[in-house]
Structure 1
Amino acid sequence: MQVRAGLADQADHGGRAVRAQIPVVAAAFLAEQPMIVIGAADEAGHVWASLLTGPPGFVHAAGPATVRVAARPEPWDPLAGALGDAATVGTIAIDPARRRRMRVNGVSVPDADGLRITADQVYANCPKYIQRRHLLDARGEAARPTAVHGSELTPDQRRRISAADTFFVATADDQGHADASHRGGDPGFVQVLSPTRLRWPDYVGNAMFMTLGNLDVNPAAGLLFPDFTTGTLLYVSGTARTEWDPERVAATSGAQRLVDLAVTDVIEVAAAVPLRWGDPEFSRANPPVGTVSATLPRG
């Protein structure tokens, strides 16, 4: 994928930042975070992105190549079964207020009250396309959240996806090695083409193509749309393909490529997580999408 995009040299330079051990600065960053996104495949082979939360310190480095997460997926989480045993996972920790993020990929096993991840890839990403948000409250909880399952997106879910400025995407290669990544843009950057089809632009990035490289050999993908004001999580799983046709790509502002997702499974859990965030300050890196965000701050 890097060669096809003409970015092999840039990717080679960026790839030198990937390591198997956790730098001191990365360990400090992890220990400050109240949430982490985890991507993996379930028992049926469907790929999902999920979100775990806890007080700062619930994610921490427990060794030079080990991360402990003092939380496990709730029973309604699509990865609850898979993470109850050894699983290859991709994770991303993100700090919206400081526009920082880092990824740790490896093998997860259950450990006491949480998970222990042995890392084989550790690296940071640039702040592009992260909307700045400040944490308002970490105490809100729902009593016994209930998962609502479907095979297509409801009108309300389509509306919320169309208004989203952030989502997370999980993928895996043909050997099952998983990855979790962040996608951001102005509201409307995710196009809802039908109840079972989504499309989003692939903007200029670090040329690593972790997501697109995985999709090239394994089309399974999982998307997670968090509602930052209510704590509701919308999980979407399906199969994706990358569109390279220059004419089609050119129709979407800022796109280098397009990714189409055929939706097969949808799970919505209201007030699933206790974190509540303030209004976004959109990244200056976001390409424009109509005039949807004209009244909201940018920085």
Structure 2
Amino acid sequence: MATLLDNSNGWHSGELAVHKLLKVPTSSRQNPTNHGFPPAYGYRVTVSPLVAVGTLDDEGRPWTTIWGGERGFARPVAEGILGVQGLVDKTHDPVIQALLGEAVDGEVYQPENIKLMSALSVDLETRDRVKMAGKMVVGSVASKSDSNTVAEAQLAMHVQESLGNCPKYLNIKDIRAHIPSPLLISSSLPLPTGALALIEQADMFFISSSNGQTMDTNHRGGPAGFVRVVSNTPDSVTLVYPEYSGNRLYQTLGNLHNNPLAGIAIPDYTTSDILYLTGSTQLLVGPDAAALLPHTNLAVKITVHAARFVHDGLPIRGTPGELSPYNPPVRRLATELPPSSAAATDETTSSPTATLTLTNREILTPTIARLTFLLKNREPQPRSWHPGQHITLTFASELDQGYSHMREDDPQSLNDDYVRTFTISNPPPPPSVEENDTGKGKEDEVKVQLTVRLHGPATKLLFSQRFGATFAPLEIGVLGIGGAEAFRIPVPTSSSAGSAPVGATSAEDSDSRTKAVFVAGGIGITPLLAQAPGLLSSAAGSEEEDKGLEVLWSLRGEDLPLAVDSFERIEGLGGVTRVFVTGDKNNVDEDVVEKLKELGAKVERRRLTREDVLEARDIVRGTKYFACASPALLRSVVDWLGEEQVVFESFEY
């Protein structure tokens, strides 16, 4: 919470520094934190079955815990006084030890020195929460006769500041009281496997911090797995999480700016397991955040100094309910993404270096279109690409509506940077040899084609935008063109085949080259569309029936016209492709299926299987697999292939 000592509007120096860092105006804003503990907040705490509590240990380290039970276990007991009574883990709970560790079992304890406290009550059924800050007044802890670790604690907290918070990023849960049986699994670093699994599935945690005069306990939530493990070794345990769009008070971040220490509690409501962490933090802004978590403008990196992982340590359990509509997709570490699918590449900048102007749109299926653009560079040096590479675009100028705290009509837009990456579907143009008056090469108009599926605001804009002489042109900024060279299929350069196309990776001998197998799911075929003309034409002069390329393409029935279009445009592609038709049989046009067969494709009315993928191997020449598909299919393909050579891209960028 905030202390009111720094200026007339109630912001402390750390909050003001973060406002300045993030360019948030504060000159006329009044800090909404309340003095004391208004009755309305007291009622909201009373109906909450969960309270997260923070304090400092004897070393000044923050810790956070979670207490709970039947509604009413925490409630006002006098003016400005919050009373809490419930079961606790007296042996492993670091907050109990810091607050009541000196108490004699069963006797009332009143601390001689001030013990700062903070608390956050949460009703996960209604997504209501109330923050409180103050100090401990009195407490007691009485051991249960049938347990060495479980005790009943009573504690009174003088609430000096309080604040009601918005419900964003809280996933609904039905919380109920539970009698715990705590068992310490680990109290050392690195984190054990069970703790890592808890972090991976966690959709919320609680964090406590201090600015030196007061404390703050707050909640962070999102999709399961939004907290990422950067490192977990005996020498370094580091986590990171993205800071989503919020109320822009930055009370937690303001504390961390002044004092980077933080205490974390990560619960598992299904098992009642809890992970306690304490450590130091680092605020990452702009490029520093995006370098670690692509598509993130603000993140917090946590270096863990101490940890306790306790099985069945919580006095509550919960059943999952509705997810928050504000949850963005999980933002994975840059190191977790395939090099070719990371949005940030060596060729990507933070501001547009070129523009794409939409000139044509061909609707291929109800949800897939081929879009044609003209590429215009803003740099003296022309920008081109290699077959199979992707282009990163910014739609912010068209779609970003600026800051908004809540947006009920489009919740996920609050955390959208409107940066999108698409694979370029057409080969690059040949280098121009025409010269202008200065003797430099004259750049022709460059066409860029993207084959995209309708999904989200950016593609909705591309599908609906009008174009032509009577309409203003749609110009989209280009941030960069990239993609790993490893995802480009080598092109043979035998004497019969001629030279490899411009930008292609060459193989020395088409008769001995490794066989390439491309596994695609849906529009995952797009990296091959730009490469296939060069691959197939280079092998056209070969007398071999096998061209060294086989394509396994899983496609929904309603999307089969995309395959027809691809095979008609790229001679020979149908002849090396097996199409696996999935989805509702009623969406399959039999005339389209017959057309695919006429174009040389083999059509299978079933899902792609492990046997299909392994049958494509060439034992004599060797096989290299290339896969581009949805995350689910991609995981299956990688598992099926085991030790086989495989290079892959996903749709997660």
Give the alignment's TM-score, normalised by structure 2. Answer: 0.42
Q: Which residue of the other structure, out of 55, 60, 75, is the alignment partner of 2:75?
A: 60
Counterpart residue type for residue 288 of structure 1: P
In structure 2, stretches of 5+ residues that fail to align are 1-17, 101-110, 141-152, 332-629, 633-653
Q: Are 2:176 and 1:161 aligned?
A: no
Q: Distance in 2 between matches of 1:117 and 1:162?
A: 34
Q: Distance in 2 between matches of 1:101 and 1:67?
A: 15
Q: How many residues align?
A: 288
Q: Which residue of the other structure, out of 253, 278, 286, is the alignment partner of 1:245?
A: 286
Q: What is aligned with 2:90? A: 74
Contact between 2:208 and 2:218, CA under 8 Å: does it hold in 1?
yes
Q: Distance in 1 between matches of 2:184 and 2:207?
A: 23
Q: What is aligned with 1:36? A: 51
Q: What is aligned with 1:125? A: 165
Q: Are 2:324 and 1:283 aligned?
A: yes
RMSD: 2.4
Q: Distance in 2 between matches of 1:10 and 1:273?
A: 43
Aligned residue runs from structure 1 range 1-299, under 5 A: 1-9=18-26, 12-13=29-30, 15-16=31-32, 18-71=33-86, 74-84=90-100, 85=111, 86-112=114-140, 114-135=154-175, 137-142=176-181, 145-146=183-184, 148-173=186-211, 175-195=212-232, 196-246=237-287, 248-249=289-290, 252=293, 255-289=296-330
Change (3 A) 1:37 1:212: same
- The alpha carbon displacement at 1:159 in A equals 2.5
Structure with greater helix share of residues:
2
SS in structure 2 at match of 1:182: strand
Q: Distance in 2 between matches of 1:99 and 1:83?
A: 28
Contact between 2:186 and 2:192, CA under 8 Å: does it hold in 1?
no
Q: Distance in 1 between matches of 2:178 and 2:197?
A: 27
Q: What is aligned with 2:383? A: none
Counterpart residue type for residue 249 of structure 1: A
Structure with greater strand share of residues:
1
Contact between 2:206 and 2:220, CA under 8 Å: does it hold in 1?
yes
Could you tell me the percent identity over the aligned residues?
26
Counterpart residue type for residue 194 of structure 1: S
Q: Distance in 2 between matches of 1:235 and 1:116?
A: 23
Please identify the structure whose Cα radius of gyration is greater.
2
Contact between 1:200 and 1:260, CA under 8 Å: does it hold in 2?
yes
Contact between 1:172 and 1:218, CA under 8 Å: does it hold in 2?
yes
CA offset digits 1:242-295 (Å, max 9, x no partner): 0113364387477441110011111011111232211242111111127999xx
SS in structure 2 at match of 1:224: strand
Q: Distance in 1 between matches of 2:631 and 2:174?
A: 22
Contact between 2:67 and 2:315, CA under 8 Å: does it hold in 1?
no
Q: Distance in 1 between matches of 2:159 and 2:90?
A: 23
Counterpart residue type for residue 114 of structure 1: Q
Greater shift, 84-93 or 123-132, is seen at 84-93
Q: Distance in 1 between matches of 2:265 and 2:97?
A: 18
Q: What is aligned with 1:296? A: none
Q: Distance in 1 between matches of 2:273 and 2:47?
A: 23
Change (3 A) 1:123 1:264: same
Counterpart residue type for residue 138 of structure 1: A
Q: Distance in 2 between matches of 1:253 and 1:28?
A: 41
SS in structure 1 at match of 2:136: strand
Q: Distance in 2 between matches of 1:120 and 1:257?
A: 30
Q: Distance in 1 between matches of 2:59 and 2:244?
A: 31
Contact between 2:118 and 2:133, CA under 8 Å: does it hold in 1?
yes
